[in-house]
Amino acid sequence: MRIGVITFPGSLDDVDAARAVRLAGGEPVALWHADHDLKDVDAVVLPGGFSYGDYLRAGAIAARSPLMADVVAAARGGLPVLGICNGFQVLCEAGLLPGALTRNGHLHFRNRDQGLLVERADTAWTSSFEQGQRIVVPVKNGEGRYVAAPAELDRLEGEGRVVVRYVDGNPNGSSRDIAGVTSADGRVVGLMPHPEHAVEELTGPSVDGLGFFTSVLSALVVAA
Amino acid sequence: MSATEGLSELDTAPGRTNRLDTVALATEQPDDAQPYAELGLKDDEYARIREILGRRPTTAELAMYSVMWSEHCSYKSSKVHLRRFGDLPKSDALLVGMGENAGVVDVGEGYAVTFKVESHNHPSYVEPYQGAATGVGGIVRDILTMGARPIAVMDSLRFGRADAPDTARVLPGVVAGVGGYGNCLGLPNIGGELLFDDCYAGNPLVNALCVGVLRHEELQLAKAEGVGNKVVLFGARTGGDGIGGVSVLASETFDAEGPAKRPAVQVGDPFTEKLLIEACLEIFAAGLVTGIQDLGGAGISCATSELAAAGSGGMAIDLDAVPLRDSTLTPAEILMSESQERMCAIVEPDKVEAFLAVCAKWDVLATVIGEVTDGDRLTIDWHGERIIDVPPRTVALEGPRYERPMSRPADLDALQADTPPSSSADLRADWLAVVSSPDGADKSWVTEQYDRYVRGNTVLAQPEDAGVLRIDESSNLGIALSLDGNARYARLDPYTGAQLNLAEAYRNVAVSGAKPLAVTNCLNFGSPENPEVMWQFAEAVRGLADGCRELGLPVTGGNVSLYNQTGDVAINPTPVIGVLGVHADVTRRVPTGWRADGESVLLLGETRPEFGGSAWAAVVHGHLGGLPPRLDLAAERSLGEVLTSLAADGLVSSAHDLADGGLAQALTESALRYGTGARLNVTGDPTAALFGESVARVVVTTADPAAVRAVAEAAGVPVTELGTTGGDALVLDGLLELPLAELRAAWTATLPALFGSPEVAVGTVPAGTVPTS
C-alpha cells in the first residue's frame, strides 16, 4: 500500500509521518506541494509543521497549493486523507473538514503527552481501535483550539463526527474537548495530536499512534 | 550615541554631505575626522587601521573593522587565554577543532556530530522574544554551515530573582522566543537549564546549543578558493535590523541611563531559516559549493572577510547586487546589518545555475554578489565606486589582542572564609523549600512550550539528566548531551567551579549510559576591562582546560560572552559547559525516573558535609560563601565508566546524578517522574546526606543490587544501599515522610504561580471568536 506524505514549505513532521507509515507496514511516498501529482497513492497524510510559517493563518496558504487541488478532488472521490496538526489546519482551510483551529486559549505553545478517547472506530484511519478506547499520544501546537459555531458543533456531535476527544485535561481550550473530526464519509480525518510521534517504545510515550496508520492499511485491503 | 546615529553622522560629516566616501576620497582627504570611538574602536585600534591601509579608512571600511574588531567577533580579550584549549592533547575523535564555525566529532559508523553553544544575552534583555529566537537561529546556522543537518537544540537560561518584576518581562518572552524559533524549524529541544539569581537581574543569560549530524565526507568548510568562483548570497533580504549588534550590544556594558538599544536587535523568521536548511542540505548533497559561511554577527562584513581570509586569494564584491528590504540603507549599514537567515556560498561558475535552481525550488532568494579573485585584497564596490579595499586577513584574523590586567577579586578571601551553615533545623521543611525553589522546581511551564518530539529520534529529553538522540535507526547509534553551569561554585572559586561544571555535564552524559566524548562551552563573564573579572575568566579557562586534560576530552569550540554586567556590577562568573557523549545502542539508555516497585535504591559515590555554594545554603539561609565541593575528576571518571558499563549490561533501571540540592532534589525528581515512592534509610549526618553537594555521586535503582555493587566496587566506587522503591511516599526512616502528592504539589506550583497558569477552562470559547460559517 502506497501512502503519500505531502511536504509543504515549512512541513516538519513529514519524516515522522513517513516513518510511521513504514512501521505500520505501508510504503511511504514523498509528495511535493508544487506538483500536480499524487503518484497513484492509496491514501495521503498531511503532516505537522508550520507550512509557510503559519503566516496569514495556520494552514491557509498551504491549502491553496497546487497539490491540494488534487487532494481535494481525490478526497471527494473517497481517497483516505489524514491531516495531523498543521495538516488538520490545512484540511479545515481547504474546506474538507468543518471548523477552524485558533490560537490556544492560554496563548502558549503546548507540548505534552495527551490522553485521548477514541469515539469513532469505524473511519478509514481509526478502525484498528475499539470504540471508547483511551490512548496516549503527544500533542504539540500553538494554534490547536478547535472552534465552530454552536449549531455546527451540535450537528457534528449529532452525526458522530467527533473521532477523538481530549481526556485528562484539555490542552488548548478546544470546544467540547474535540481533538479530531472526520468527514461525513469517514474517509478524511483531521486531528491536532500527533500519532506519528507515538509509534515506537524508544521515542514515544506509547505506541498507540500506530493504530491510525495500520487502520488505513486494513481499510485499503478491505476496499481492494 | 547609538551605532546607527554614528553612521548617519559619518555620511553627513562636514565637507562630505551627500557624497559617497570612497577609497579615492579617503586618499584625497586623509585628515577627515572619523567617529571611530562611537563605533567602539579605541584610539590605538583606529591608528592601527590607518597603518594597515596606509590612509584613513573609508566610512564603510571603518564600519567593517569596527564590527570585526569588536570583542564579540575578535575575542580580543579572551584569545590569549583560550589558547589553553588548543594545547590539549590531540583527540582521535576530533575531525575539526576550534576556529571553524563549530567543532566536528567522529561518533563512529561513518557519522560525525557537530555541536556548539552560543550566547545571545544582551539582545535577549533588550527584546526578549527576538533576542532569544535569533540566538537559536544563529547557532543553528553555525551547525548547518559545517555541512550537517541540525537535529536538536538545548537552552541554558538565567534570569534575575524569579519574583522580580523585570524577570516577569524577560522570561516569558525568552522562553516563547526559544520555543517559537526552534519549534518552527522542526528541531526538538532536548534539555537545558533554568536558573535564577539576583546577579542576572539586568543581564539575563540566554545560551543556545545546537547539534547536527553528517557523514564524514559531507563536511563543509568556510573558505573562498578558486579564482573566478562566484560568491552567492542567499536567504533573506538585507534590512536595517541588528546594525552594529556585535559592537553595540555584545561588546558594551549596559548603562541604566543610556539610550534604548532596540534597533540593534535582529528580527527572526524561522520559516525562512527552515527553507534555508533544506536548500543548503540539498546543495551540499549535490556538491554545488566549495565553501560556505553563515551570516550572523557583523553580517556581510564578517562572511566576506572570513571566507576570503581563510582562502588563498582575494574577493571582489558588488554591493549593489545585495537584495535589500530597505532601499535607503547606506553601504556601511548593508555591510554591518545582522539581518537573519542569510548564508554566503562559494560556487564554481558552471554550478551556479544548478545552485540557483535548488534555491528556487525552496523559494530561497539567491544572488551572485561577487567572485574570488587572484589578488590578496577584499574589494567592495557601490554604485561603481570602490568603497572597500582591504587585506581580508587584517579584518578577520589579525584583530587586536589584549593581555588585560588581572587581579584576584578583593572580596574572595572574605567570601571563602565565610563558611556556610551545616545543620538543618527542620529537614522536612528544608526539603520542600529546596525542591520548590525556582531553581529546584518543576520546569514543565517552560519545557511544555518546546517541541521535544519532532524528527522522531528523541530518546530522552528534559527533565532527564541528559538529552539523548538516535542517530541511526538501523544500528541504534546515538548521542547524549548535557549543559551545566553552576555559577555559585564559579563565584567561590572560578578554577574549581569551571571543573565542577565540566564534571557535572560529564556525569549527566554518563548517567544516561553514554560515553563522554567532547566538550563545548559558553563563557559568560562581566567586563574584561575589570581586572577582577579578567582574573575570573582566566581561572575558569585554566580550570576547564585542566579538567578536560584529566578527563581526556577535547574542547571542540565555544563562545565567549563578556560585558555581562549592569553598571559596575558583574554577573557571577558563569561558564556553561556542554558535554557530548556517544551511545553505541540508544535502546540501552538509562532514564532518571523510577517506574517499578521493589527495586533497590543505591547511592554510588562518597558523601561529605559540603555546603559551600549549595542550593540548600542559598535557599534556606540566603548564604553564598565558603568553598565549593571538593573536585575529584578521577572519581568522576571511574563513576562514568561504571555507569556506562551498567547501562550496557542493562543492570540499572534508572540513574540520576546528584548536583544542586543534593540527594533531596534527586530523590524528588526520580520519585515524581512516574509517581513511584521509596522507603529509604540514610546514615551519617542527615543534613549532609540530604542537602550536601559532594560530587561524583549518582543514585541508581536496580533489580540486582549485588551485581551493581560488584561492578562499582571493582572500579573503586563506594556503594551505599539506601532502600527500596515502592509506595506513594518518600519515607526516610527516622527522619521524615513526604507523601508524593504533597511533594508534587510543592514542586509543580512554583513556576505557574510566578509566570501564570496556562490552564484554561475546558471547552470554553471567548465570545466573538466563533466563526459564523
Q: What is the pLDDT along chain A (224 residues), one digit of tens a residue?
A: 999 999 999 999 999 999 999 999 999 999 999 999 999 999 999 999 999 999 989 999 999 999 999 999 999 999 999 999 999 999 999 999 999 999 999 999 999 999 999 999 999 999 999 999 999 999 999 999 999 999 999 999 999 999 999 999 999 999 999 999 999 999 999 999 999 999 999 999 999 999 999 999 998 776 65
CA atoms lying within 13 Å on the CB side of residue A95: 7
The proportion of chain B whose per-residue pLDDT surpasses 90, expressed as a percent, equals 81
Q: Give residue B682's pLDDT.
A: 96
Number of domains chain A contains:
1
In the predicted structure, residue B17 carries a pLDDT above the cut 70: no
Return the CATH number at A165: 3.40.50.880
- Considering only CB atoms, which chain B residues are within 8 Å of A104? 760
- Considering only CB atoms, which chain A residues are within 8 Å of B763? 170, 173-177
- Over residues B2-11, the pLDDT tens digits come to 344 444 444 4
Per DSSP, what are the bridge partners of residue B570?
Answer: B565
- Over residues B365-412, the pLDDT tens digits come to 999 999 999 989 999 999 999 999 999 999 998 999 999 999 999 999
For B644, counting Cβ atoms within 10 Å of its Cβ (0-12 exposed, 13-18 middle, 19+ buried), the class is buried
Mean pLDDT, residues B550-556: 95
Task: Give me B69's grid cell.
Answer: 574588531
Q: Which of B180, B444, B456 lies at the smallest CB-CB distance from A15?
A: B456
Q: Is B486 annotated as a binding residue?
A: no
- Please tell me what DSSP assigns to residue B245: I
- Over residues B107-123, the pLDDT tens digits come to 999 999 999 999 999 99
Determine which of A23, A86, A111, A146 to mutate to test the interface with B (most B C-beta atoms within 10 Å): A111
φ/ψ of residue B527, rounded to 5: -80, 130
Q: Report yes or no: A108 at the B interface, CB cutoff 8 Å.
A: yes
Mean pLDDT, residues B9-31: 70
- Considering only CB atoms, which chain B residues are within 8 Å of A149? 770-773
Whole-angstrom distance, CA of residue B266 vs CA of residue B123: 8
For B9, counting Cβ atoms within 10 Å of its Cβ (0-12 exposed, 13-18 middle, 19+ buried), the class is middle
Other CB atoms closer than 10 Å to residue B75's CB: what's the count? 17
Q: Where are the domains of chain B?
A: 1-68+221-399, 94-219+473-524+533-589, 412-441+590-758
- Over residues B495-518, the pLDDT tens digits come to 999 999 999 999 999 999 999 999
Q: Is B403 annotated as a binding residue?
A: no
Angle value at C-alpha B499, between B710 and B463, nearest 5 degrees:
70
Whole-angstrom distance, CA of residue A62 vs CA of residue A83: 12
Cα dist. A178→A128, A148, A164, A181 in Å?
Answer: 20, 11, 7, 8
For chain A, give the secondary structure using H, E and C. Answer: CEEEEEECCCECCHHHHHHHHHHHCCEEEEEECCCCCCCCCCEEEECCECHHHHCCCCCCCHHHCHHHHHHHHHHHCCCCEEEECHHHHHHHHCCCCCCEEECCCCCCCEEEEEEEEECCCCCCCCCCCCCCCEEEEEEEECCCEEECCHHHHHHHHHCCCEEEEEECCCCCCCHHHEEEEECCCCCEEEECCCHHHCCCCCCCCCCCCHHHHHHHHHHHHHHC
- Considering only CB atoms, which chain A residues are within 8 Å of B456? 13, 15-16, 19, 196-197, 199-200, 203
Q: Give residue B333's pLDDT.
A: 87
pLDDT, averaged across chain B: 91
- Considering only CB atoms, which chain B residues are within 8 Å of A194? 453
Contacts of B499 (CB under 8 A, 6+ apart): B543, B544, B546, B547, B631, B633
In the predicted structure, residue B131 carries a pLDDT above the cut 80: yes
Whole-angstrom distance, CA of residue A125 vs CA of residue A216: 5
In the predicted structure, residue B768 carries a pLDDT above the cut 80: no
For B705-773, give the secondary structure using H, E and C. Answer: HHHHHHHHHHCCCCEEEEEEECCCEEEECCCEEEEHHHHHHHHHHHHHHHHCCCCCCCCCCCCCCCCCC
Catalytic-labelled residue, pool A93, A119, A194, A197: A194
In the predicted structure, residue B625 carries a pLDDT above the cut 80: yes
Structure confidence at residue B267 as a pLDDT band (50, 70, 90): confident
Q: Give residue B16's pLDDT.
A: 42
Mean pLDDT, residues B267-288: 95
Q: Which chain A residue has the Cα nearest residue B588?
A: A202
Q: Which residue, B334, B325, B337, B340, is CA-closest to B142?
A: B340
Per DSSP, what are the bridge partners of residue A137?
Answer: A114
Q: Write out the H or E segment, with its range, that includes residue B117.
A: strand B111-119
**Domain limits at A69?**
2-223
Residue A196 annotated to the active site: yes
Q: Write out the H or E segment, with its range, that includes residue B206.
A: strand B205-215
In the predicted structure, residue B520 carries a pLDDT above the cut 80: yes
- Over residues B298-307, the pLDDT tens digits come to 889 899 999 9
Q: Which residue, A89, A20, A141, A104, is CA-closest to B184?
A: A141
Q: Which of A52, A172, A203 lies at the smallest CB-CB distance from B457?
A: A203
Q: Is B472 annotated as a binding residue?
A: no
Task: Inspect the interface and report whether the beta carbons of B762 and A170 lie closer than 8 Å.
Answer: yes
Task: Give me B728's grid cell.
Answer: 506513594
Are B319 and B64 in contact, with CB atoms under 8 Å apart?
Answer: no
Which architecture does CATH list for B412-441+590-758? Alpha-Beta Complex (3.90)
- Considering only CB atoms, which chain A residues are within 8 Å of B587? 202
Task: Check residues B88 and B461 and name the one with the higher pLDDT.
Answer: B461
- Over residues B684-717, the pLDDT tens digits come to 999 999 999 999 999 999 999 999 999 999 999 9
For B756, counting Cβ atoms within 10 Å of its Cβ (0-12 exposed, 13-18 middle, 19+ buried), the class is middle
Mean pLDDT, residues B582-595: 97
Instruction: Give the range among B51-65, B159-173, B239-253, B326-340 with minimum mean pLDDT.
Output: B239-253
Residue A25 Ramachandran class (φ > 0 left, ψ -120 to 50 alpha, else beta):
left
Q: Which residue, B168, B276, B592, B443, is CA-closest to A111?
A: B443
Q: Which of A54, A105, A138 lies at the smallest CB-CB distance from B453?
A: A138
Residue B120 annotated to the active site: yes
Q: Which residue, B209, B201, B116, B221, is CA-closest to B154?
A: B209
Q: Which of A12, A147, A199 lies at the smallest CB-CB distance from B454?
A: A12
Structure confidence at residue B263 as a pLDDT band (50, 70, 90): low
Whole-angstrom distance, CA of residue B149 vs CA of residue B721: 44
Task: Inspect the interface and report whether the beta carbons of B449 and A110 lie closer than 8 Å.
Answer: yes
Distance from CA of A126 to the nearest CA of B (A): 22
Task: Inspect the interface and report whether the beta carbons of B765 and A173 lie closer than 8 Å.
Answer: yes
Q: Give residue B763's pLDDT.
A: 36
Q: Which residue, B185, B125, B135, B141, is CA-closest to B155?
A: B135
Q: Do domains B1-68+221-399 and B94-219+473-524+533-589 have the same CATH topology?
A: no
- Over residues B420-443, the pLDDT tens digits come to 999 999 999 999 999 999 999 999
Q: Report yes or no: A33 at the B interface, CB cutoff 8 Å.
A: no
In the predicted structure, residue B1 carries a pLDDT above the cut 60: no
Are B21 and B11 in contact, with CB atoms under 8 Å apart?
Answer: yes
Work out whether the CA dihedral B646, B651, B656, B662 comes out positive or negative. negative
Cα dist. B242→A5, A78, B138, B234 in Å?
Answer: 38, 52, 13, 18
Q: Is B521 annotated as a binding residue?
A: yes
Task: Inspect the interface and report whether the beta carbons of A106 and B760 lie closer than 8 Å.
Answer: yes
In the three-class reduction of DSSP (H, G, I as helix; E, B as strand; rest coil), residue B477 is classed as coil
Task: Inspect the interface and report whether the beta carbons of B448 and A111 lie closer than 8 Å.
Answer: yes
The dihedral formed by the CA atoms of B378, B228, B336 and B55, expressed in degrees to the nearest 10: 20
Structure confidence at residue B758 as a pLDDT band (50, 70, 90): low
Distance from CA of A129 to the nearest CA of B (A): 23
Inter-chain contacts counted by CB atoms under 8 A, chains A and B: 133
Structure confidence at residue B102 as a pLDDT band (50, 70, 90): confident
Q: Which chain A residue has the Cα nearest residue B361?
A: A34
Task: Inspect the interface and report whether the beta carbons of A197 and B761 lie closer than 8 Å.
Answer: no
Whole-angstrom distance, CA of residue B42 vs CA of residue A63: 56
CATH of B94-219+473-524+533-589, one of 3.30.1330.10, 3.40.50.1370, 1.10.10.10, 3.40.50.300: 3.30.1330.10
Mean pLDDT, residues B227-233: 96
A 144-173 near B (Cβ less than 8 A): 145, 147-150, 169-170, 172-173
Task: Check residues A117 and B331 and name the one with the higher pLDDT.
Answer: A117
CA atoms lying within 13 Å on the CB side of residue B624: 14
Q: Give residue B8's pLDDT.
A: 45
CATH of B1-68+221-399, one of 3.90.1150.10, 3.40.640.10, 3.90.226.10, 3.90.650.10: 3.90.650.10
- Considering only CB atoms, which chain B residues are within 8 Å of A109? 176, 179-180, 183, 448-451
Whole-angstrom distance, CA of residue A79 vs CA of residue A42: 7
Structure confidence at residue B260 as a pLDDT band (50, 70, 90): very low
Q: Report yes or no: A204 at the B interface, CB cutoff 8 Å.
A: yes
Residues making up chain A, counted from first to last: 224
- Considering only CB atoms, which chain B residues are within 8 Å of A112? 444, 448
Task: Give me B751's grid cell.
Answer: 513556576
Task: Inspect the interface and report whether the beta carbons of B448 and A108 lie closer than 8 Å.
Answer: yes
